[in-house]
Structures are given as C-alpha cells and as structure tokens.
Structure 1
Amino acid sequence: MSGNKGVVYKGAGKVAVEDIGYPDLVLKDGPGVPKANVGRKCEHGVILKVVTTNICGSDQHMVRGRTTAPEGLVLGHEITGEVVEVGRDVEFIQKGDLVSVPFNIACGRCVMCKEQKTHVCLNVNPDRPGSAYGYVDMGGWVGGQSEYVMVPYADFQLLKFPDKDQAMEKILDLTMLSDIFPTGFHGAYTAGVKPGSTVYIAGAGPVGLAAAHSAQLLGASAVIVGDLNEQRLEQARSFGCETINLRKHDRIGEQITNILGEPEVDCAVDCVGFEASGHGDQGEAPATVLNTIMDITKVGGKLGIPGLYVTEDPGAVDADAKVGSLKVRIGLGWAKAHTFVTGQTPVMQYHRSLMKSILSGRAQIAKAVNATVIDLDQAPKGYSDFDSGVAKKFVIDPHGMLSR
C-alpha cells in the first residue's frame, strides 16, 4: 500500500487534506519530531486502517495559532481503527481487531506507566513526560486524522472491542473512548462527584458535555453547565442539565442560588482551559474559569481541571499568559482547602469501564455531545464550523465505513 491522506496544519487558521504517505513501523523525521525520536523502531506497534477519528477542541488551539505547533504537522489524537499490519514484537493484538487508541502514547514499561500514570510516560517523548498523536511538543508522533496511522506499544495500549459487529453498531459512542469520554469522566471523577453531588461544569463544548454526562453517570443530583454559547447550552439541556448563559449573567453565585437554593456547589470541573473568556462581553481572560470555580465551590471541595493549559501561547493577551502565567487567586483556593487535579487524562484508567457502559446501553455519550459524521475531505470545513461554536462533535469517517 502507498496512499494515505491526512489533515495537515498549514498555519494559523488553516488545515488541508494532503497525501502524507503510508505509515511504517518507525517514527521518521518530520514536523515536530525531536531528533532523539527520529528513526525510532516500533516493531511493538501496528498499522491501523482508521475507522473514525474526531476533531478535538485541543486541535483547535493549534489551528488557531495559539501554540508553537509547526506547519506540516499531521493532526488528530482521537483514533479508532482496524488492525491491518502487526509488528514483529506484538503478541496479543491481531490483524482484523477493531480497537480504540488512547490519545496518550505510553510504553507500559516505565515507572509512571506501572503506576497507571500513562499521561506522563517517561519513554515516548525526549522533551518532557507525556506524549500524544499529532500534537505540539508531544514527541512528534504522527496524527490519526488520516486513512492509516501507526500506533506503537500495541499490546499495552490498545483497547480491543470484544465483538466487531456490536462495536460498529455503537461506533459513534465508542469513538469517544480515545479521549473525550475518559477526559470528561476524569474531570468529574477527580472533582469528587458521587451520588447526590451538585456539580458545576465550566464550558459546554464536547469535553464539557462529556463531563456533564459523566457526572450524571456518577450519580450527581444536579449538574449545572455554564457557557457563553446558547446553542451549546441547549445541547446540555437536551440530556437533563441545568444551564447558565454567562453572556447574560456574570454573577454565577446568584444563578446557582436560583437553581439550588444556595450559591455554591459541592465540586466543579474546568472544561475550558487557557483560551477562556470573561463573562458577558469582557473578551479573553484566561484565569476567569479557575477563579470562578474556586469562588463557587464549597470549602473542602475538589476541582477537576481537564481543560488544557499551556506553557507557550503566542496569541495570549499579555506577556505573562504567553508563558502560561495566569492571575489565579491561589489564596482563595488555599483558604477554602480546595483540591486541584490537573494535567492530561490517563485514558487507560477509564476506557475499559466506559466501554462496558456504552455496550450495555448505560452511557449515551454520542447523543450527549451530538456526534456528527463527516468525510475526511470535509475536515477543513469541520474545523471551521467547530471554531464558530456549533454544538457538534465532528467524527471523521475516512473510508466511508459508517455511511455503508
């Protein structure tokens, strides 16, 4: 085989579908690949025919030019596929298996992996702990918004679906297992959501909606979602969430009181990250969400923070924010004895259990995030539509397998 089209970052605001070459079981030189990773042999890996691959809000940060991502980077870290080639050292994964790929690339051998902290694997990125497909500063591994992709450490990482026919029937739900569903669940779980909890979710994008659905699965008595986008808030209401339109209401405590009878929640989740906007028409104010969730979370509460924060943001509003320094009221969090949980989501801690929830019919994540299928050639428009704020989670179908 030789052909392989993929979605390529072409500079701020631009992506294109281009021929990127058929993958090998080796990491070749290319945009964003550290010298120490060039030529890395991956006989422990597989080649996947991509069945579904999703556009993520994290991808949008790069496409907007808000990171140091190099032009030519092949995008995409949410991957579900069929195994078409198996490396010499792979023992348990076989050709024909239908699998979900955790967005974290992890070796399974280092101390962090052995402690289930696969989001900070020590062996896959020479520049820093942790890695991902098609992402800036994450080791240079080629992204999966493509027809075919190479996945290393297959035996350790891949989640095999037990029945291919059943999996294809629920593929719009199962495609969310590579990132968005575990990420939303991680946010709710690390915030301490339990039966009866009242929860505030900052952001009604796909991750926020996934966190809201996850909070419901964990037994929350009330899930309140705040956002500036009324269309996305309507999507949150469609599966039973309360909502606050932050463009109309800047005093969140008052709105929470209207819903709960008191101005604070038990726990909160930040699903916005570093491109946060102030309430009303204030414009970008990157510390807004973190300060807000400290303000409206009870003493002793936990704050799950799966929203992305970066160390370099060329498009930031001030010099401090350009290097990831935000005006966070840490004194408030200290005084209220809050617990903060940050960082990438360790997908492998959750994806098998969430798969079972999907296959049993308990979890309805595709419905919650409004999964919308597009062709690979429609990816540039999908990025543009997603950036405009539509209440959709775009699922790319590179081979037309879902339409069949």
Structure 2
Amino acid sequence: MSTNRAVAYRGPGVVEVIDTAYPEFELKDGPGVHPANVGRQVRHGAILRTVATNICGSDQHMVRGRTTAPQGLVLGHEITGEVVEVGPDVEFIRVGDIVSVPFNIACGRCRNCKEGKTGICLNVNPDRPGGAYGYVDMGGWVGGQAEYVLVPYADRNLLRFPDADQAMEKILDLAMLSDIFPTGFHGVVTAAVGPGSTVYIAGAGPVGLAAAVGAQLLGAAAVILGELNEARLAQARSFGCETIDVTQGDPKDQIEQILGVPEVDAGVDAVGFEARGHGSEASHEAPATVLNSLMDITAAGGALGIPGLYVTGNPGGVDEAAKVGSLSLRLGLGWAKSLSFTTGQCPVMKYNRQLMTAILHDEVHIAKAVNATPVSLEEAPQGYAVFDQGAARNYVLNPNGYIKTA
C-alpha cells in the first residue's frame, strides 16, 4: 500500500504536513466529511499522483480562522495530476493521463450539471448545492495538497491534456486551469468585458491578476487594478495594467485621472468578504466596501462580476451581521443604475478547455502574470505564511517533483 503526505489545517494560523491515508474508491470518515458521504462508493473515480497543487487565497480564509473549517481538514482544491488508478466504472480516462481537475466537483447527471452549472451540482454535497476538494462546507471531499488525491466522476471532471510532454513544458501555466484562471476569466465574462471595454478589478491577488489577463484576452482597452499592496500592484503593471493604490483614497477619483471619466464599463470584485476600507480606512476591515464602490464606479447599465469569496459563516466578522455573511449594501444604487450582478463559484468546465488551448498555443502566459512560484510540499507552511503577508506570488506545491526548478 502506498503512503501519502498532505497539508492539513490545524487551527487559526497553523498548517502542517501530515501522514494521511492513501485514497481509496470509497469515502472514509474524517475532518469535514459529511456523515451522509461516509461509505459512498466512488467506482467512477480516479486516483491521481499530484503534479501541482496551488495555495489559493480561499484557503487562506480558512487558515486565518475566518470560516467554520474543522481542524485536521486536508486542504487543496487547485489540482493537476497524473492518473495512477481508475475505478471500474471509468470508461475514457486512462492511467498515465496528465489532467487538470476543476475545483468544483460535478456529477454530470443532475439538472444543474446538465445546464452547465457545475459549480452548484446537486449530488456531491448533502448540505447544499456545490462541492469542492479540501474546503469547508463543500461535502468533505479530501483536498489535493497531497501526494495523491481521489477525484470522483473522472470521465466528467478531468480535463486531459492532449500531449503529456507538451503539458509538462507548460505545466505552471496549465496548473492555473483548476481554479484561478477560469475564476478570474469568469469574473470578467460576467462583467460583460469585451473589445474596447474599460474594466476596474478590485484586488490584485492571484484571482485579480488572472481576471486582468482574462480581460486582456477579451480585448479590453483599459484594465485597472485597485489594491493596497504595492508589490501586487507592481506585478499587475508588469503585464500592462493600470493600477490604483486604494490607500490613497476613493478609486473613483483615480479612475478619472486615468480615463478622463470617473467610471468604467465593467467592475470585478476579486477581494471578497475580508475587504478593507479605502483611504484612511484602509487599515480597517469593512466587508461591503468593494461591492459598494463597484456599484458607484460602474456605469449605468453595466455589470459586476463577483468571483471574490463570500461566506455564510465568518467567526471573525467585524460585527454580528458579518459573522453570518450579511453586509450593508447600497442595493438601491445598483438598482437605480440597472446594474447586473453575478456571484458564486465559477463553473470551471465552461472555460477550462478553451483557456487550455490558449495556453498551449502561446496566446496567454498566465503563470508569469501571477508570478507562479513552485515549492515543495514540505515548504507549504512557509508558503502559507508568506502568502498571507501579501507576497505577490502564487505558490504552487510540487509534491512529487514533477516540476523541474532551477
């Protein structure tokens, strides 16, 4: 029997690399696993030897203790891997395939999956629509910041790269297909970005940077990122974006200096529920700031894409309302301006094949844009700590040595 090592949440501010069970084609009891899923047979699944698995900003919310994640939860939902075993019901995926794993788990059989709404599958999480690996309230599917991971519904969920050797040459770019690239792209698509658009993206972390790359791919005329971290703003400027330091005041005034008008065609929230204020309030958490600012900045008739995470349980919320995900929004302003809003998980499979093709044909270099930085599995705790301090990097764990580093 093979062994397995994985990254686990141990409590606020603490992650640890642990010995854990090698995956089986049956769900076992464990931290975060829904009791109704224990014993569930996964004959349709595949076991992957992990090629790359990213540390995500969404993981940081859990590690900071800002969710109801249980201690011992194995983390990781951004997975790329090599298939080493397949269940008896798998028909098309083969041992040896190099594949990308959408972070949202989709059965492919329910009404939502058949309508392309794979982020809210009805059959993978007994508590609510939508499942994911290694994440709080997402059904308890074991995370992929590990040497090996089980993926259910393999024929449906896995995106096979057409040429393994070519894939390994571009593996840092392709590793972004499991979440941040499609998620950022979904943000700008739902904000209706197109040729000649002007777009403001709040947040220059990995998803905000990925959204900026997506906006450029869609032909935006001006892509502006707002952030309070200068290193991340510099990263955005490195591939042609305009930037705004929100510690200097209202983004609206700075947008006017860039565009000549104080508004944009499209707005994207890549920050989420741990947003801070602007200007003199930038040191204080104010979770409705970004959404209210976007409603003010976005032109009448425009749209907001909201890939930033919002939760229903936030123990560290600034007030009792925030602790249950209730925010004081200027909905009247949004209504008066006829703004459209799109929230929720990105349906990764809606975009990942097309984005893969763009990568393989050198139309986009997402790893460079987000400053993808490979580290070993044992270095994960340090990667979490440095990323949490605002590093302008996207840490990619390399559990099995597939990624060759200088």
Shorter-normalised TM range: over 0.9
Q: Which residue of 2 aligns with 1:294?
A: 295
For residues 252-274 of structure 1, the C-alpha deviation after alignment (integer angstroms, 9 at most, x for no partner) is 11111110010000001000000
* Contact 2:250–2:279 under 8 Å retained in 1: no
Equivalent positions of 1:235-250 (< 5 A) are 235-248=235-248, 250=249
Give 2:398's aligned amino acid. Answer: D
Tell me which amino acid in the other structure corresponds to 2:268: V
Partner of 2:29: 29
User: How far off is 1:2 after superposition?
Assistant: 2.6
For residues 11-42 of structure 1, give each alpha carbon's deviation from its aligned partner in whole angstroms, at most 9, with x where no partner exists: 00000000011110111111111111001000
Asked if 1:276 corresponds to 2:275, the answer is yes
Over aligned residue pairs, what C-alpha RMSD do you find? 0.6
The CA distance in 1 between the partners of 2:52 and 2:359, in whole Å, is 16
Is 1:400 the counterpart of 2:401? The answer is: yes
C-alpha deviations, 1:307-332, integer Å up to 9, x for none? Answer: 00000100000000000000110000
The one-letter amino acid of 2:191's match is A
Matched with 2:217 is 217
Asked whether the 8 Å contact 2:191–2:305 carries over to 1, the reply is yes
Corresponding residue number in structure 1 for 2:370: 369
CA distance in 2, matches of 1:196, 1:20: 50
Residue 281 of structure 1: how far off its partner (Å): 4.2
Q: Give yes or no for the alignment of 1:76 onto 2:76.
A: yes
Q: Secondary structure at the match of 2:358?
A: helix
Aligned partners of 2:7 and 2:154: how far apart in 1? 23
Q: Which runs of 5+ in 1 are unaligned?
A: none
For 1:343 and 1:55, the matched residues in 2 are separated by 20
Question: Per-residue deviation at 1:102?
Answer: 0.3
SS in 2 for 1:266: strand
Would you say the 8 A contact 2:107–2:123 is kept in 1?
yes
Which runs of 5 or more structure 2 residues have no equivalent in the other structure? Answer: none
CA distance in 2, matches of 1:131, 1:401: 28
Mean Cα deviation higher: 212-221 or 251-260: 251-260
Alignment of 1:133-148 (within 5 A): 133-148=133-148
Provide the aligned length of Structure 1 versus Structure 2.
403
Give, in whole Å, the separation in 1 of the partners of 2:300 and 2:337.
5
Q: How does 1:173-184 map to 2 (within 5 A)?
A: 173-184=173-184
CA offsets, 1:236-292, max 9 Å, x none?
0000000000112x1211111110010000001000000000013421000000000
When normalised by structure 2's length, the TM-score is 0.99
Amino acid at match of 2:319: D
1:291-370 pair list within 5 angstroms:
291-370=292-371
Moved over 6 A (4+): none
Question: Hey, what's the Cα distance between the residues in 1 that align with 2:403 and 2:319?
Answer: 45
Over residues 322-361 of structure 1, what are the superposed CA-to-partner deviations in whole Å (9 max), with x where a residue is unaligned? 0000011000000000000000000000000000000000
Please give the alpha-carbon distance, in whole angstroms, between the structure 2 residues aligned to 1:141 and 1:189: 29
* Counterparts of 1:344 and 1:386, CA distance in 2: 22
2:47 match: secondary structure: strand
Cα deviations across residues 171-190 of structure 1 (Å, max 9, x unaligned)? 00000000000000000000
CA distance in 2, matches of 1:281, 1:180: 30
Letter in 1 for 2:285: E
1:143-195 deviations in Å (ceiling 9; x for gaps)? 00000000000001100000000000000000000000000000000000000
Aligned counterparts of 2:265 and 2:404: Cα–Cα separation in 1: 43
Once the two structures are TM-superposed, the CA of residue 403 in structure 1 deviates from its matched residue by 2.2
Other structure's SS at 1:337 match? coil
- d(CA) in 2 for partners of 1:353 and 1:165? 19
| TM-score of the pair, normalised by structure 1 | 0.99
| Distance in structure 2 (CA, Å) of the matches to 1:292 and 1:64 | 25
Letter in 1 for 2:272: G
- Which residue is equivalent to 2:119? 119
* Mapped partners of 1:34, 1:222: distance in 2: 45
